[in-house]
Amino acid sequence: TPHLLSVSDLEVQYRRPGQLPTRAVAGVSLDVQAGEVVGLVGESGCGKSTLARAVCGLTAPTAGGIVFDGTPVGPLRVRRREPALTRIQMVFQDPYGSLNPRRRVGAQIADGIRIAALRGDIPVPESTDGPVEHFLTRVGLPASAAQRFPHEFSGGQRQRIAIARALAARPSLLVGDEPISALDASAQAQVASLMRSLAVESGAGLLFISHDLSVVRLIADRIAVMYLGRIVETGTTAEVWDNPRHPYTQALLAAIPQPDGAGRLPTELPGDVPDPAAPPSGCRFHPRCPRAFDGCDREDPRLNADGVACRLYA
Ligand code: SF4
Ligand code: MG
């Protein structure tokens, strides 16, 4: 079966006046199947959001391609409101990225329903009240929420509203860009599992982006780890969690506090994420890599057939 989403050798470059061009995404390939949850993990500034924005047609790639359900994705096509591309729906870190603070919740979910009706996927409903209530119920909110405004809800509830709005548009791909990182710990796991179950139930794919590997591993079928614009490791969640191979993935895992209070390993990454406008030579991770060896500052490893981009596994 063809992939629902296929990203190949994607490059996104930013140019700001008087500055070096930044390759925020540098040669990324990634697939998502229908009904599959892919977690994209990395520190802030690694290019995750840029990748998400390109997938949703909000940012133009400099090279490479994105194909969604047989349709090439590009900003122009999205601006022209190509109906097929409304099947990609996004949930942002800040729910006000998807919600209008001045409109009642019900009216905003009804917008999603109208998007699906315009596309011809559902009949134009005589009244949106019933469907709005249906989507509110699915995200665990009472029907009375329809009459209220977004600011009357907690952060976790607002994210549920944003999810209801996205779902109402009948997406076949849901993209969450750090949808839980502004929430408190208990709401994080709830909202993440809700996104997973709603996507899987409706047969949609979910690309779930987060800096938090410990939450991603609870909901993802596959994980891709990103560092400075590159995917450095990819595999099933069990493979990545139980047997991380790339030194960066190993360090991410080591940094996760354990329930007994001890870290997995006494490893801390030295230094900050380098400036993506001036990435290190050779392996982009070499200045921080505890296992760097001769040649890592010159040779730039690409993702191998086993899904790891590191010279230790060449
Ligand atoms: Fe570390 Fe070298 Fe592997 Fe890069 S290629 S992750 S520097 S060991
Ligand atoms: Mg981001």
- CA of 292 from ligand 1 middle (Å) equals 5
Of all protein residues, whose CA lies closest to atom 6 belonging to ligand 1? 310
Distance spanning both ends of the chain, measured CA to CA: 30
In the sheet with 63-68, reading across from the earlier edge strand, the strands are 22-32, 5-14, 63-68, 71-72
Q: Residues 89-125: pLDDT tens digits?
A: 999 988 777 789 999 999 999 999 999 999 988 998 8
Question: Could you name the CATH architecture of 5-313?
Answer: 3-Layer(aba) Sandwich (3.40)
- CA of 247 from ligand 1 middle (Å) equals 7
Q: Residues 19-66: pLDDT tens digits?
A: 778 889 999 999 999 999 999 999 888 899 999 999 988 888 999 999
Shortest-distance atom of ligand 1 to CA 295? 2
Q: Residues 137-153: pLDDT tens digits?
A: 999 999 999 999 999 99
Residue 215 CA neighbour count, 13 Å, CB half = 26
Q: Report every protein residue that has its C-beta within 5 angstroms of ion ligand 2.
A: 49
Provide ipTM, 2 decimals.
0.96
